[in-house]
Amino acid sequence: MNKKRGKPAKRKLSKLYRKIHRTLGIWLAVFVIFLSVSGILINHSQTLKLDQKFVAVDWILDLYGINSPQQFTVFDSQIPDSPIVQMDQQVWFGDKFLFQYPSPLVSAGQYQSYLIVAGSQDLFIYTLDGELLDSFNRQNGLPGTIRFIRVDSSQLILETDQGIYVMDEQFMGFSSFAPIDDEHIASASMDSGVKVWRADSVKLTSVQKQTFTTNFKHRIMKWERVLLDMHSGRLFSKFGVWFMDLVALFFILLSITGLYLWQKDNNKKRKHR
């Protein structure tokens, strides 16, 4: 009698397990595909250069809380619609990204057919195509802390805390021009024949500012980071992590029900032999 009573209960349990297994299998198939594809992409991120490619999808950037730059510093490059702009730590020439710089720029402009971009402790020389030609710092020849740069009689002149220096036309080095004093700086700034490269010498239009802001945001997050966060659920903060934990528990339940059903079917086959 006990065996007969136990059979309906086992059948109900088997039916319940099959229903759970089938339902979970259908829903979890989507996550199996997602985790498999994202895992393959992560494993080959260097080959696919995902560690170098930036995300330009605004809703993904919004999930990370990436905001507009806090600071705009603009220098005149003498090329229409292509100013030299520093946004926080990013430095751009028109639509060309130049480099990251942690400190505020002090001077920038066009000299001959090159861009000269200077922080207080560094000077960079770029082509108009945005390629780095050379750079100077205090270790490799920069004579002092740069206050600003000016062009006087076709000469590139650096005003530094150590004096005034002229840069060689071939960009090979610097030669002393004169000791510095505040009166000289003031007179140079007022001289109509002298071009002083100062910040905010040009103003951005609202359209230009929006374009630079978009370029700024699209130069922050790389696809490798996004894929890692999607794979772990961290893209959607702590709720995404908990959801992926729940999916993992469902995978465990799917495995348990699968093993139970396999064992039951295996026992049936043995009885019929």
Do 211 and 228 lie in one domain? The reply is no
Whether residue 61 lies inside any domain: the answer is no
Identify the domain containing residue 244 by its residue range: 2-54+222-272
- Are the CB atoms for 116 and 109 separated by under 8 Å? yes
CA-to-CA distance for 218 and 131, rounded, in angstroms? 20
Q: What one-character-per-residue DSSP string does 140-188 give?
A: TT--S-EEEEEEETTEEEEEETTEEEEE-TTSS-EEEEE---HHHHHHH
The alpha carbon of 124 is separated from its chain's Cα centroid by a whole number of angstroms, namely 22
* Residue 222, both tokens: 């790389």
Q: What is this structure's pTM?
A: 0.74
Do 176 and 90 lie in one domain? The reply is yes
Do 141 and 189 lie in one domain? The reply is yes
Q: What are phi and psi of 76, to 5 degrees?
A: -80, 125
pLDDT at 1: 47
Give the containing element (helix H, strand E) for 206. helix 206-217
Do 114 and 235 lie in one domain? The reply is no
Whether residue 59 lies inside any domain: the answer is no
Do 189 and 125 lie in one domain? The reply is yes
> How many domains does the chain fold into?
2
pLDDT in tens, 192-224: 456 788 888 788 999 999 999 999 999 999 999
Do 193 and 96 lie in one domain? The reply is yes
Among the listed residues 156, 166, 198, 160, the one whose alpha carbon sits nearest the alpha carbon of residue 180: 160
Do 198 and 237 lie in one domain? The reply is no
pLDDT above 90 for 187: no
